[in-house]
């Protein structure tokens, strides 16, 4: 059974700092991994999608890496801003079951202080 | 291009009642998935529909059901509501045509409170 873990559960940093969020998963048989952002009481906003054959994806100040063999992904946020404060969720798409099912971690709650 | 639309956004029900939630996917997307989000369990997969057929189902009791219409819009129903069904219900859409490779896009969710 695929399990996804995100560490730390919460992180508080001063504005301008570069930071890394970690995600690990137990089964390397995945189609892809997707990072999301969730603001309080809101839905999920897709940040980056990394296919299983890729090593990393970049979008603006965000860079996500994937090491499928070790079951790890990181989300790097450069020059953090207060507007980056949110919960960041990592999700994998298992090959087992063959559908659009995602398995999520519990998230990392990020607070960027001005 | 409109995103994923969920209705209603908020609703309050009492135990024993039933509820129906609606989801309109992004135009052209044929796959609709449903997730339940609670503080204790996080995000859990309920089921996925593609071309009006359920392709996958999570580990939820039979009180949770869904369907998809020919225009790809989907509904989920929860019967005989329990206090533990209070949650944010999120709908996601994707193209769904190339198995497992597409990006999922989520709606704002329907916040259900059961009293």
Distance from CA of B73 to the nearest CA of A (A): 16
Query: Can you give the C-alpha Rg of chain B in angstroms?
Result: 13
Q: Which of residues 57 through 76 in chain A touch B, CB cutoff 8 A?
A: none
What pLDDT is stored for residue B95 in this prediction?
A: 87
Residues of B in contact with A41 (CB under 8 A): 88, 111
- Tens digit of pLDDT per residue, chain A (114 long)? 899 999 999 999 999 999 999 999 999 999 999 999 999 989 999 999 999 999 999 999 999 999 999 999 999 999 999 999 999 999 999 987 666 889 999 999 999 999
Q: What is the DSSP string of A51-83?
A: ETT-SEEEETTEEEEEETTTTEEEEEE-S--GG
The whole-angstrom separation of Cα B104 and Cα A89 is 13
Q: Which residue of A has its CA nearest to B32?
A: A100
Instruction: Name which of A75-84, A86-95, B5-14, B99-108 the model is least confident about.
Output: B99-108
Distance from CA of A81 to the nearest CA of B (A): 23
Output the six-digit token pair for A33: 């991994």
Does B43 sit within 8 Å of A89, measured CB to CB? yes
Asked if A55 reaches chain B (Cβ–Cβ under 8 Å), the answer is no
The whole-angstrom separation of Cα A104 and Cα A99 is 15
User: Higher-confidence residue: B94 or B2?
Assistant: B94
Does A91 sit within 8 Å of B31, measured CB to CB? no
Element (H, E) at A28: none
Asked if A102 reaches chain B (Cβ–Cβ under 8 Å), the answer is yes
Closest CA to A84 of A7, A21, A32, A5: A21
- At B10, give phi and psi (nearest 5°): -135, 140
The whole-angstrom separation of Cα A89 and Cα A33 is 11
- At A12, give phi and psi (nearest 5°): -125, 125
């Amino acid at each position: 059974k695929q399990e996804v873990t995100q560490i730390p559960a919460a992180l508080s940093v001063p504005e301008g700092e570069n930071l890394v969020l970690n995600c690990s998963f137990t089964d390397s048989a995945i189609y892809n991994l997707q990072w999301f952002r969730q603001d309080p009481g809101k839905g999920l906003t897709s940040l980056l999608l990394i296919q299983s054959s890729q090593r990393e994806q970049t979008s603006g100040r965000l860079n996500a890496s994937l090491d499928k063999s070790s079951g790890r992904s990181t989300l790097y946020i450069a020059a953090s801003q207060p507007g980056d404060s949110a919960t960041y969720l990592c999700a994998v798409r298992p090959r087992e079951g063959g559908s659009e099912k995602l398995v999520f971690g519990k998230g990392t709650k990020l607070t960027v202080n001005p | 291009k409109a995103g994923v639309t969920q209705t209603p956004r908020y609703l309050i029900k009492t135990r024993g009642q039933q509820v129906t939630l609606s989801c309109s996917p992004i135009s052209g997307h044929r796959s609709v998935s449903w997730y339940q989000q609670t503080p204790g369990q996080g995000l859990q997969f309920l089921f996925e529909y593609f071309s009006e057929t359920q392709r996958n189902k999570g580990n939820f009791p039979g009180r949770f059901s869904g369907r998809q219409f020919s225009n790809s819009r989907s509904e989920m129903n929860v019967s005989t509501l329990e206090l533990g069904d209070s949650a944010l219900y999120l709908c996601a859409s994707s193209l769904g045509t190339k198995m497992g490779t597409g990006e999922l896009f989520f709606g704002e969710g329907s916040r259900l409170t059961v009293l």
